[in-house]
Amino acid sequence: MQAVASKLLADMRAAAEPQDWGKTLTIYEGFLTLKVNASARVEAGCLAARGMAATGERRAAREIMEILGREEYRRAVHYEFLAKAYLDLKQYANAAQACETAENLRQEEASKKIAKRAEAT
């Protein structure tokens, strides 16, 4: 199941790169039928929301982002996905908050790495 989800996510990334939003959204429809981890779900959802915003389906995009925005994520990259989608929806306050959270997570991770190195020496 995860292999199928990984393939669909890779296809979504490839379609989103040249901004082929129609293809991105078609792939997302197949993605919805799968049970996937939070990491894949947030990336796919944000790509879909960006595609919907670009094709005029802003209400549906906002609904997806409302759901994704309620969750907490462990990695900074997840908040970067959220920030890009929020920017496409012109939700600048949400984008700024997602960027701030991503930066805080990056700093936290860097502090942990420094502490580990100090313990090792």
48-63: per-residue pLDDT in tens? 999 999 999 999 999 9
Number of domains in the chain: 1
Residue 84 has pLDDT above 70, yes or no: yes
The predicted model gives 32-46 an average pLDDT of 92
CB-count exposure of residue 25 (10 Å: 0-12, 13-18, 19+): buried
Give the CATH number for residue 87. 1.25.40
pLDDT score recorded for residue 115 = 87
How confident is the model at residue 65, as a pLDDT? 98
Q: Higher confidence at residue 84 or residue 5?
A: 84
Q: Using alpha carbons, select from 33, 32, 15 the residue that is nearest to residue 24.
A: 15
At 1, the pLDDT band (50, 70, 90 cuts) reads low
Q: Which residue range is the domain that position 61 belongs to?
A: 2-120
What pTM was estimated for this model as a whole? 0.90
Spatial CB neighbours of 13, under 8 Å, sequence gap ≥ 6: 47
Q: pLDDT band for position 5 (50/70/90)?
A: confident
Model pLDDT, residue 11: 95
